[in-house]
Amino acid sequence: MMDNLTRTNLLPVIPLRGKVAFPNTSVIFEVGREMTLKAVNRANDTADRLVLICSQRVTEKDEITPDDVYKVGCVAKIKQMSQLPGGVVRVLCEGLYRAVAREIGVEGGYFYAVCDELKSKRGDEILEEAYFRTAKALVKDVLGSDGKLSKEIAIKLESCQNADEYINVALSAMRVRLEIKQQSLEEADVIERLKLFERCLNDELEIAKIEKKIAGAVRQSIDKSQKEYFLREQVKAIHTELGDDGKEEDEFREKIKAKGLPADLEEKCLKEVNRMEKMQPSSPEYNVISGYLEQVLALPWTEETTDTESLEECIKVLDADHYGLEKIKERITEYLAVLKLTGNMKAPILCFVGPPGVGKTSIASSIARALHRKFVRMSLGGVRDEAEIRGHRRTYIGAMPGRILYGMKNAGSINPVFLLDEIDKITADMHGDPAAALLEALDPEQNATFRDRYLEAPYDLSKVMFITTANSLDTIPAPLRDRMEIIELSGYTMEEKTEIAKRYLVPKQLKANGLLDKHVDFSLPALRFMIEGYTKEAGVRSLERTVGGICRKVAVKHAKNKRVPKVKLTCEKVEEMLGAPRFKIDEAALEAQVGAVNGLAWTAVGGTTLTVEATTMPGKGELRLTGKLGEVMKESAQAALSFIRAHAEEYGVEKEAFTEKDLHVHVPEGATPKDGPSAGITIATAILSALTGRTVRGDIAMTGEITLRGKVLPIGGLKEKALAARRVGIKTVIIPKGNEKDLEELPTVVKEEISFIPVDEVDEVFALAICAKKKSTDVKRANALTSRVTDGVRCKDNE
């Protein structure tokens, strides 16, 4: 053997259990032992990524030494590595050539060896060709029988150029003992290797004959099926005499056997068919069984669509349908990339949360189109019966599967994109909690065996990409929320809305109203005027309706006179068509006032501004709160008042103000419910302004929770609140220091137009927002507070 050694390498050694790696073939194995992981990682860090794969002598042994590994193996190149659960790594290698390890050593916690290439020794060419032809014929007999030879292996064998390559490919596809494969790998002489290969093939032929003989003997001993066939023929004759030929049962049997159902479900369905044969077609139970079988056969069990392999095509489709939404597009691209590398992975459970009209539902349809999958939409708004998710038991009259299986039936494949719309709108009542029923369907660890009460058998939902949408996470139960990957969508800026209108909404409405580009021209100033004056939303639904209104009015003109010139929309033309703008910036709200502070709120429909008003009147020191405030907001007002009262002397508030005056805090609009702690510093500023008579800057807005110690705590929905502030022309926003990290997610145009000032304590808020009044002789801390203004932002006296 040593005469045939060439090409020396120092390589990490992979001890392979239960397999032998051959040149000219691919080998896939999973690595879990620390020693092997180190060897794989060491090889993966090198430029050529080469390893020596040697088979382990005793497969079951975990703790091994160099003596437990064969010294003859295969030098292979690592092609792909993928991480599996439990710290296991799946490795794909391509065998290059046989090699002999001079000595296997241990270094750095893994095996390594200096190895030499094992070259084949060739003898009589005619004799070698004779053995080669005999081997080819035997391979066709052994692997070709009973479908053991796959098309891929057959094609690869046909393309083999020499005996060595042919043996390598054939043995890699055969199930023979590891010792025989290893003996063939170690043999350098080609003729001797062919002889060994032929002996192996002859043994396999003998085994196949014995297996066939055993199978024949078993079939002869079984006469039960023949008996059933005879009785079934008699039943057919009876049905014929009764005018019923019994073909329906036979059709069901054929469909059940051809459907590819799980073994236990197939057996159950065939039993149901046997029950049908014994019943009259007019029997109610007959119709129940027939309906059940039809539902089972209508479901997809093995039907599957093929995902697109092109990341560029996927991104192109998503960009063509939607502007922005980068987080969602990035997540789908990541899923497709991992799927492309691993070949199989559990579909993610995504939850898109954001205000109405930002594209949550429509992007789900685009995802299905981008992945080349079927799309199913199921609205959960108003669902309050658990049976709508899990179905009814067949004991009930009119029982049907749940809406999840109904959606799968409509999809016709086991891997659709399944949209569960408005998941935050489901409610529970006496019929059960639908959210609890969704726990199993939306759990990647459980949904492979989802059980519908009607089906009475597990159904695999693991390949379904579930996407849920919600306006708010508050109403989604915590266990259900924990099972989903939350992706938050914020409202659009003015620039984003303009771009969306130009790219998508205008062309869509032109087509919907029978117009062309030559009929009307939407200028950018006109679109901005429509956004600012006729819509007040986080999304673009109202904007689309507004664009549609313009298009309809243009359509009326062209319907009356087709020679009407092209309508060029200007701001004046828009106002002429739509009337006076419905929304205007309240200039008065931007002026400095006593007891009136601009606050910011975040709701399920986006961000908004609100004015907190406070005033004092003669009384007994009572606090009155109006504006349909929730309990949390009322408690924030109490905390704000308690803090100011505790520090009244420092802020120049007379003690009599808390005993001889009543304080009234009101938050317009009075009919709109409001709650949450984020208005704490806003209420505190309004109260202090009312008690001291000092004005509050009108060009500043604020948001943050207040504590009894005067600390300002973080809040949620900063981006939505910032967009709302920008809409009304506010240039400075006070935010909690804990939300400073969230500024990175804000659009650049918002950060350029608005100055955000992070604060830790409410003293900083008062210094920034409250101005000195005309007569301030008794205000002890006025100058001290003003000097603490950060970032160069200072109050202006209102003299």
Q: Which residues pair with 107 in a beta bridge?
A: 110
Q: Is 788 helix (H, G, I), strand (E, B) or coil?
A: coil
The H-or-E segment that residue 14 falls in is strand 5-16
Terminal CA-to-CA distance of the chain, rounded, Å?
A: 104
Whether 726 and 754 have beta carbons less than 8 Å apart is answered as: yes
Active site residue: 721, 755, 775, 787, which one?
Answer: 721
Return the closest-CA partner of residue 701 out of 757, 639, 625.
Answer: 757
787 is catalytic: no
Q: How far apart are CA 695 and CA 676, in angstroms?
A: 26
Dihedral of CA atoms 648, 653, 655, 661 in degrees, nearest 10, equals: -120
Q: Which residues are CB-neighbours of 664 under 8 A, at least 6 positions away?
A: 614, 615, 616, 617, 624, 626
Q: ∠ CA 495-501-505 to the nearest 5 degrees?
A: 160
- Residue 77 has what DSSP assignment? E
Tokens of 772: 């000195």
The total number of residues written for the chain in this structure: 799
Q: How far apart are CA 421 and CA 349, in angstroms?
A: 13
Dihedral of CA atoms 496, 499, 505, 510 in degrees, nearest 10, equals: 160
Q: How far apart are CA 136 and CA 576, in angstroms?
A: 87
Q: ∠ CA 534-539-543 to the nearest 5 degrees?
A: 35
Q: How far apart are CA 502 and CA 505, in angstroms?
A: 7
Return the closest-CA partner of residue 366 out of 406, 328, 404.
Answer: 328
User: Which segments within 413-542 are labelled E, that is strand?
Assistant: 417-421, 450-451, 458-459, 465-470, 485-488, 520-522
Dihedral of CA atoms 613, 616, 622, 623 in degrees, nearest 10, equals: 10
The H-or-E segment that residue 219 falls in is helix 190-221
Hey, what amino acid is at 668? P
Own/partner long-range contacts of 134-140 (Cβ < 8 Å, ≥24 apart)? 134/198, 135/163, 135/166, 135/167, 135/170, 135/194, 135/197, 135/198, 135/201, 136/166, 138/198, 138/201, 138/202, 138/205, 139/170, 139/201
Q: Label each residue of 527-583 as H, E or C.
A: HHHHHHHHCCCCCCHHHHHHHHHHHHHHHHHHHHCCCCCCEEECHHHHHHHHCCCCC
Q: Which residues are CB-neighbours of 559 under 8 A, at least 6 positions away?
A: none
For residue 712, which phi and psi values (nearest 5 degrees)? -110, 115
Return the closest-CA partner of residue 7 out of 68, 36, 45, 50.
Answer: 50
Q: How far apart are CA 664 and CA 666, in angstroms?
A: 7
Whether 70 and 54 have beta carbons less than 8 Å apart is answered as: yes
Q: Label each residue of 140-198 as H, E or C.
A: HHHHHHHHCCCHHHHHHHHCCCCHHHHHHHHHHHCCCCHHHHHHHHHCCEHHHHHHHHH
425 is catalytic: no
Q: How far apart are CA 580 and CA 485, in angstroms?
A: 44
Q: Which residues are CB-neighbours of 219 under 8 A, at least 6 positions away?
A: none
Active site residue: 55, 290, 678, 689, which one?
Answer: 678
Q: How far apart are CA 69 and CA 670, in angstroms?
A: 81
Longest dimension (CA), the chain: 120
Q: How far apart are CA 310 and CA 332, in angstroms?
A: 12
Q: How many C-beta atoms surround the C-beta of residue 355 within 10 A?
A: 23
User: Which of the residues are catalytic?
Assistant: 678, 721
